[in-house]
Amino acid sequence: MAVMIGDEAPLFSLPDQDGKMFDLGSMIGKKVMVVYFYPKDETPGCTKEACYFRDRYEDFVSLGADVVGISSDPQRSHQEFATKHNLPFRILSDVDEKVREMYGATGLLGPGRVTYVIDKKGVVRHIFSSQMQATKHIDEAFAMVEKLAKG
């Protein structure tokens, strides 16, 4: 069943592009989290989305938020993708797609492009799902982070 606005975000631990474990539970109470699922490294839409998150990353950080991207690509692919595009945030490997399934982040034709904004209490406050509007994910997420920062 898909995660909905108002639900507690399912907690997970996944390895990032450097092989370090990222644990969502350790972020609860500390930061607003923007968790975005994308289909595949180095595809046009996914690259555009990641680079736009990169370009706006400091804006998110300045409001006390952090960003993580998730796809089923392996760590090495993520490492090359992050290095090539100078991504300052963590890209997580969900090779068996268990986390994607927990969130219900699927599209009509397979892996979906879905972004979740999770508040400091671990509650999902915003969801944006669109395969075609890759950069709108960032604008939508930032607007919600800004709203949460204002209280």
Q: Which of 33, 46, 68, 70 is catalytic?
A: 46
Taking the model in full, what pTM does it have?
Answer: 0.96
Residue 111 pairs with which residues in a beta bridge?
106
Question: What are the structural domains, with CATH classification, of the chain?
Answer: 34-150 (3.40.30.10)
Q: Judge contact between 9 and 124, C-beta under 8 A.
A: yes
d(CA 55, CA 85): 11
Establish whether 51 is a catalytic residue: no
Per-residue pLDDT at 144: 96
Q: What is the pLDDT along the chain (151 residues), one digit of tens a residue?
A: 789 999 999 999 999 999 999 999 999 999 999 999 999 999 999 999 999 999 999 999 999 999 999 999 999 999 999 999 999 999 999 999 999 999 999 866 678 899 999 999 999 999 999 888 889 999 999 999 999 998 7
Give CA angle at 73 (89, 112), nearest 5°.
Answer: 85
d(CA 91, CA 89): 7
Amino acid making up residue 74: P
Q: Judge contact between 34 and 66, C-beta under 8 A.
A: yes
